[in-house]
């Protein structure tokens, strides 16, 4: 049994325990859990900002810059295809005349 299956089975057993269900329904526990998820997001955001600043200082490309470049490239490729199709259609119309 791999670790993922083990943890999944163990989690299902814990969820079926009435004491755990009661604990999960406690408003204080849910509030702490939500704060933990929010903290994780804030920490990840701060790490991303620090990495971006370090990359910029070193003259390196960031993940966001690569993503934006790919987006721009896809847009330009789409525009080029449309322009080629328009040119082909105009050429075909001109040859029929």
Average pLDDT, rounded, for the chain? 90
21 pLDDT higher than 90: no
Domains in the chain: boundaries: 1-60, 61-97
pLDDT band at residue 33 using 50, 70 and 90 as cut-offs = confident
If DSSP codes are grouped into helix, strand and coil, which group holds residue 3?
helix
Lowest mean pLDDT among 7-11, 29-33, 61-65, 92-96: 92-96
Torsion-angle region of residue 2: left (phi > 0), alpha (psi -120 to 50) or beta?
A: beta
5 pLDDT higher than 80: yes
Model pLDDT for residues 52-81, shown as the tens digit of each residue:
899 889 999 888 899 999 999 999 999 999
pLDDT band at residue 1 using 50, 70 and 90 as cut-offs = low
pTM of the full predicted structure? Answer: 0.50
Closest CA to 48 of 63, 61, 34, 59: 63
Whole-number pLDDT of residue 20 = 82
Radius of gyration of the chain (CA): 27
């Amino acid at each position: 049994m791999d670790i993922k299956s083990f943890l999944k089975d163990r989690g299902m057993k814990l969820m079926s325990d009435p004491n755990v269900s009661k604990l999960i329904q406690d408003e204080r526990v849910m509030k702490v859990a939500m704060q933990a998820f929010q903290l994780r997001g804030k920490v990840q955001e701060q790490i991303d900002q620090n990495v971006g600043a370090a990359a910029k200082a070193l003259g390196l490309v960031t993940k966001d810059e690569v993503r934006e470049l790919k987006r721009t490239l896809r847009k330009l490729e789409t525009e080029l295809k449309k322009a080629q199709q328009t040119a082909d259609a105009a050429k075909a119309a001109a040859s029929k005349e």
